[in-house]
Structure 1
Amino acid sequence: MTDILLELPTWTITRVAGLLAYGFLFLGVMLGIVYGIPQLKGNWKKRTYFWHAKTQGAGMLLALAHILILAIDRYSPFTWGQLLIPFSYPDHRIAYGLGSLSFYCLVLVLVTTDFRMFLAKRVWLFLHMAGYPAFFLALAHGLASGTDTSLPAIRWSYVATAAALILITFIRVGAESFAFRRRSVQANR
Structure 2
Amino acid sequence: MTEWILQLPTWEMIRFFGLLSYYLLFAGVVLGISYSFPGWTPKTKGKLYRLHGAVSVSGMFIGVFHAMLLVIDTYMPFSWYEILLPFAASHSPVVNGLGTLAAYGMAIIILTTDLRNKLHRKVWRVIHFASYPTFVLALAHGIGGGTDTKEGWIFLSYVVTFAVVSILLIARAFLGGKRSLAHSAGRR
> After TM superposition, is the score higher than 0.5?
yes
- Number of residue-to-residue matches in the alignment: 188
Q: Please state whether the residue corresponding to 1:64 is helix, strand or coil.
A: helix
1:74 aligned partner:
74
Asked if structure 2 preserves the Cα contact closer than 8 Å seen for 1:108 and 1:130, the reply is: no
Which amino acid in the other structure matches residue 180 of structure 2? F
- Quote the offset at 1:180 in angstroms: 2.0
- Quote the offset at 1:125 in angstroms: 0.8
Matched, 1:148 2:139: no
2:48 aligned partner:
48
Asked if structure 2 preserves the Cα contact closer than 8 Å seen for 1:106 and 1:131, the reply is: yes
Superposed CA RMSD in Å reads 1.2
Asked if structure 2 preserves the Cα contact closer than 8 Å seen for 1:101 and 1:137, the reply is: yes
Distance (Å, rounded) in 1 between the aligned partners of 2:120 and 2:183: 25
Asked if structure 2 preserves the Cα contact closer than 8 Å seen for 1:22 and 1:59, the reply is: yes
- Quote the offset at 1:186 in angstroms: 4.2
2:162 aligned partner:
162
* Structure 1: gaps (5+ residues): none
Distance (Å, rounded) in 1 between the aligned partners of 2:187 and 2:85: 52
- Quote the offset at 1:43 in angstroms: 1.5
1:101 aligned partner:
101
Q: Please state whether the residue corresponding to 1:74 is helix, strand or coil.
A: coil
Question: For the structure 1 residues 187 and 123, does the alpha-carbon distance in structure 2 shift closer, same or farther, using more than 3 Å as the test?
Answer: closer
1:138 aligned partner:
138
Distance (Å, rounded) in 2 between the aligned partners of 1:119 and 1:49: 19
What per-residue deviation string (whole Å, max 9, x for no partner) do you get for residues 137-172 of structure 1? 000001111000000100000000000001000111
Question: For the structure 1 residues 110 and 187, does the alpha-carbon distance in structure 2 shift closer, same or farther, using more than 3 Å as the test?
Answer: closer
1:1-189 equivalences under 5 Å are 1-187=1-187
Identity rate, percent: 38
Distance (Å, rounded) in 2 between the aligned partners of 1:154 and 1:187: 48
Distance (Å, rounded) in 2 between the aligned partners of 1:177 and 1:55: 28
- Quote the offset at 1:41 in angstroms: 3.2
Q: Please state whether the residue corresponding to 1:37 is helix, strand or coil.
A: coil
Distance (Å, rounded) in 2 between the aligned partners of 1:184 and 1:120: 22
- Quote the offset at 1:184 in angstroms: 4.0
Asked if structure 2 preserves the Cα contact closer than 8 Å seen for 1:105 and 1:131, the reply is: yes
- Quote the offset at 1:91 in angstroms: 1.8
Which amino acid in the other structure matches residue 3 of structure 1? E
Which amino acid in the other structure matches residue 182 of structure 2? R
